[in-house]
């Protein structure tokens, strides 16, 4: 079969593993041709660094899209992540409408916040715009904070893995995010019990809701959401079910987290995933 082609719409940080520096090697090793559409270029990511540079690529995005359109490029997947402005949300929405084919997989990682708080660059209007963008997706990969934003719920009332009823509550949450069963959902950071973590998945193709879990590595890590969504996208393009792709992503993150802790790396460096990329190669 031809190598699947993906348009990947993320920011690019020169140092600190996240976004495109994770997305591209992961999808490439999984057998996917990556066509990057950078939303911004930063000298480092913004987590814990000061004085970083920031080049806004908003003006370039529609020009790139227009050139790709003139070349009649076709994509088997469109995958978006962190966006830098409300205007970019509209541009990415237009990109999806223009380039989506009958068999194009659209994955939206609705990056807005974590730990119950929106990122400092995200206004309420941007969060509302991201929710509209996510309506165009076949698959969304929110964390619990983003799930709360998408549904207008209180983050503090969501299940966090410490109560017997958390599995049922997470299932309800995934199904509530599915737009009545029309899109698939993989909620990251979903814990069914203390010491375990993973994802709760609703598969729109089958109507099934199921969890994937692994041991929790009690260490702060940067960039795991991008790794999860990237491995999930690669798995889906290889024909895996949503739960199979999410299970691969969860286990890969766990192994990378164990390695990162053993290396004693700082939070700023991100997850030490490169030596383990071979585990994602198609068999």
How does pLDDT run across 119-138, given as a tens digit for each residue?
888 899 999 999 999 999 99
Q: Report whether pLDDT(160) > 90.
A: no
> What is the pairing mode between strands 40-44 and 54-56?
antiparallel
Q: Which of 227, 259, 260, 264 is nearest to 246 (CA)?
A: 227
The tokens of 161 are what? 């893995």
CA distances in angstroms from 48 to 222, 259, 266, listed in the order given = 10, 21, 10
As a whole number of Å, the end-to-end CA separation of the chain is 15
What mean pLDDT do residues 272-280 have? 97
Backbone φ and ψ of 279, nearest 5°: -70, -15
Domains of the chain: 5-270 (3.40.1190.20)
pLDDT grade for 267, boundaries at 50, 70 and 90? confident
Collapsing DSSP states into helix, strand and coil, what is residue 20? helix
Average the pLDDT over 9-23 and give the result: 95
* Residue count of the chain: 283
Q: Say whether 229 sits in a helix, a strand or coil.
A: helix
> How many angstroms separate the CA atoms of 183 and 226, rounded?
20
| Most distant CA atoms of the chain, gap in Å | 55
pLDDT at 1: 63
Average pLDDT over residues 61-72: 98
Contacts of range 190-195, beta carbons closer than 8 Å, 24 or more positions apart: 190/144, 190/159, 190/161, 191/159, 191/160, 191/161, 191/166, 191/216, 192/161, 192/166, 192/167, 193/161, 193/166, 194/161, 194/162
Residue 161 pLDDT > 90, yes or no?
no
Tokens for 194, please give them. Answer: 């203390």
Q: What is the pLDDT of residue 220?
A: 83
User: For the whole model, what pTM was predicted?
Assistant: 0.96
Find, among 139, 33, 168, the residue nearest to 81 by Cα: 139
């Amino acid at each position: 079969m031809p190598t699947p082609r993906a348009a990947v719409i993320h920011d690019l940080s020169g140092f600190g593993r996240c976004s495109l520096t994770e997305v591209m090697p992961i999808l490439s090793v999984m057998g996917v041709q990556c066509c990057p559409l950078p939303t911004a270029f930063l000298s480092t990511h913004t987590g814990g660094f000061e004085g970083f540079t920031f080049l806004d690529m908003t003006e370039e995005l529609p020009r790139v899209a227009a050139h790709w359109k003139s070349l009649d490029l076709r994509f088997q997947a469109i995958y978006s992540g962190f966006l830098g402005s409300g205007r970019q949300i509209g541009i990415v929405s237009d990109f999806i409408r223009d380039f989506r084919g009958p068999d194009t997989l659209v994955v939206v990682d609705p990056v807005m916040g974590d730990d119950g708080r929106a990122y400092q660059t995200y206004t309420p209007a941007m969060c509302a715009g991201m929710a509209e963008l996510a309506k165009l997706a076949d698959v969304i990969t929110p964390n619990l904070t983003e799930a709360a934003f998408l549904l207008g719920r209180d983050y503090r009332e969501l299940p966090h893995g410490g109560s017997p009823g958390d599995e049922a509550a997470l299932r309800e949450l995934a199904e509530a995010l599915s737009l009545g069963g029309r899109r698939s959902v993989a909620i990251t950071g979903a814990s069914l019990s203390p010491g375990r973590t993973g994802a709760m998945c609703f598969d729109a193709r089958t109507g099934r809701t199921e969890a994937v879990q692994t041991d929790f590595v009690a260490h702060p890590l940067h960039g795991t959401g991008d790794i999860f969504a990237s491995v999930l996208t690669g798995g889906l393009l290889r024909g895996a079910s949503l739960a199979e792709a999410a299970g691969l992503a969860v286990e890969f993150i766990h192994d990378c987290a164990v390695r990162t802790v053993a290396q004693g790396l700082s939070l700023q460096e991100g997850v030490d995933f490169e030596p383990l990329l071979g585990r994602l190669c198609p068999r």
